Amino acid sequence: MKKYIIILLFIHYFIITIAGANSIKFLKTDFDNLRILIDIIDSEKTNLVVKGNNISLRYSTEKFPSIYQGGFSLANQITILNLNPVLKFFYDHNYDKTDEIPEYKDIMILSSNYLEYKNRKYRGKFFIVNKDKKYYLVNLVGINEYLKSVVPSEMPSSWHIEALKAQAIAARTYAIKVTIERRKKGEVFDLYSTVLDQAYYGIDKENPRTDEAVEKTKDLIIVYDNQPIWALYHSNCGGQTIDGRMVFPKRLDPTHQYLSSVKCQYSGKKWENKVEIYTIKKNLEKSIKINIYSIENIYTNNFRVYIIYNRNSIYSLYNWEIRKLIGYNIIRSPYISKIGIEGEHVVFEGIGFGHGVGLCQFGANTLAKNGFNYQDIIKYYYKNVEIIDLGRWLENANI
Ligand SMILES: [Zn+2]
């Protein structure tokens, strides 16, 4: 009996230890330095040029991991020639004064105004971090500065202010949720700067109207069951949004209803695109690893596409899967209304643009014009959610 109690106590201790290791305490200030991936750098032919004002490079070493060595500089430009095996860099055009740092860990690049890289200007700092033989150029930037670039990159800044506010809250919630997940996994950056997460194109995108939308909704996030939601959004749904659990079954808990399908007040934009049968054949071969010598027919029914190939074989896949197979810009949405074969081509027709899950941007703008405010818009597209202050949520959060 005693033995069992000891075993039970051990199991109990073990469970508590595991649970403890998985939960991290997050503070609001943790989001003052979001880590946005700007580029992945070639370590040998680096030639990385960053422009700015009073630009300087700092680095850490094994011995001084938190001290960023390297001084202040009055240069307007830095060129990093190599990152591996040694760090080689020079300021402005002073190639003859190239510096070599043999053993370093991480690099930080600072500027007194902005950092310009590949014709885009960014706020905050740059950080170059090495993981698994890859070098990541990461922009450390506060969440508000980040959102002031994301919102106008994702929605036209000329749109109704209430739609822009709803977009700002959705983008903030998305950023917070994904950042928490990636930090818990110990990843080297929090968010991609592309549509893989949210489009972030730096300072040039900023606009006073979207700045206002970000400021007026400061710190507001969307929660469901007291957790930030995966705040998906898309251009236009085509008349009705699609249940997120259908499109992302691995990513979404089946009991979570916040991405349920809703009827939209914007009818959607029609599209028509054609693609060569040869392209479908090649992509399908790669995907299902079967030699395909002919495609006889292709049709759609109830969110599925059926491909008849090699005379009598049928391959069927969901409409969101064929978007991936053929291209997101060709099959612009999961609402495929018609598929026809014309000679060597297949013509696809449909309505909407994007995955169709969550907030419909054109629909949000329509609702705003019809008198809905940002709370109404958010609660229209995300079901059974609350909009709360990030700081208040963090106080009681179980992350
Ligand atoms: Zn819509």
Read off the pLDDT of residues 258-296 as tens digits, 9 standing for 90 and up. Answer: 999 999 999 989 999 999 999 999 999 999 999 999 999
CA 332 – ligand 1 centroid, Å: 14
Which pLDDT score, from 0 to 100, does residue 126 have?
97
CA 265 – ligand 1 centroid, Å: 6
Which pLDDT score, from 0 to 100, does residue 259 have?
97
CA 61 – ligand 1 centroid, Å: 52
pLDDT tens for residues 113-148? 999 999 999 999 999 999 988 999 999 999 999 999
Q: Which residue has the higher pLDDT, 167 or 64?
A: 167
CA 273 – ligand 1 centroid, Å: 21
Question: Nearest-CA neighbor of 154 among 371, 380, 364, 368?
Answer: 364
Residue 1 has pLDDT above 70, yes or no: no
CA 366 – ligand 1 centroid, Å: 9
CA 204 – ligand 1 centroid, Å: 29
CB 238 within 8 A of CB 303: no
CA 147 – ligand 1 centroid, Å: 23
Which pLDDT score, from 0 to 100, does residue 20 have?
44
| Preceding omega of 85 cis (within 30 degrees of 0) | yes
Mean pLDDT of 41-66: 90
CA 363 – ligand 1 centroid, Å: 4
Which pLDDT score, from 0 to 100, does residue 132 have?
86
CA 160 – ligand 1 centroid, Å: 16
CA 270 – ligand 1 centroid, Å: 12
Domain-wise residue ranges, the chain: 34-141, 145-266+356-396, 270-351
Which pLDDT score, from 0 to 100, does residue 16 have?
41
Q: Apex CA 314: angle with CA 311 and CA 320, to 5°?
A: 135
CB 40 within 8 A of CB 135: yes
d(CA 103, CA 83): 10
CA 378 – ligand 1 centroid, Å: 13
Residue 85 pLDDT level (bands cut at 50, 70, 90)? confident
CA 350 – ligand 1 centroid, Å: 14
CA 358 – ligand 1 centroid, Å: 9
CB 206 within 8 A of CB 259: no
User: Parallel, antiparallel, or unpaired: how do β-strands 359-360 and 313-318 relate?
Assistant: unpaired
CA 91 – ligand 1 centroid, Å: 51
Least confident of 67-81, 142-156, 344-358, 362-376: 67-81
Residue 5 has pLDDT above 80, yes or no: no
- Averaged confidence pLDDT in the chain: 92
Which pLDDT score, from 0 to 100, does residue 161 have?
98
CA 11 – ligand 1 centroid, Å: 50
pLDDT tens for residues 304-351? 999 999 999 999 999 999 999 999 999 999 999 999 999 999 999 999
Mean pLDDT of 360-381: 98
CA 242 – ligand 1 centroid, Å: 10
CA 331 – ligand 1 centroid, Å: 17
CA 365 – ligand 1 centroid, Å: 10
CA 235 – ligand 1 centroid, Å: 8
Q: Apex CA 271: angle with CA 260 and CA 267, to 5°?
A: 45
Q: Which residue has the higher pLDDT, 11 or 313?
A: 313
pTM, rounded to two decimals: 0.89
Residue 2 pLDDT level (bands cut at 50, 70, 90)? low
CA 259 – ligand 1 centroid, Å: 13
CA 323 – ligand 1 centroid, Å: 19
d(CA 207, CA 204): 8
295-301 sheet: strands from edge to edge: 295-301, 304-309, 313-318
Considering the chain, what percentage of its residues have pLDDT values greater than 70? 94
CA 362 – ligand 1 centroid, Å: 6
Considering the chain, what percentage of its residues have pLDDT values greater than 90? 83
d(CA 124, CA 365): 31
Mean pLDDT of 174-194: 96
Q: How many residues does the chain have?
A: 399
CA 64 – ligand 1 centroid, Å: 54
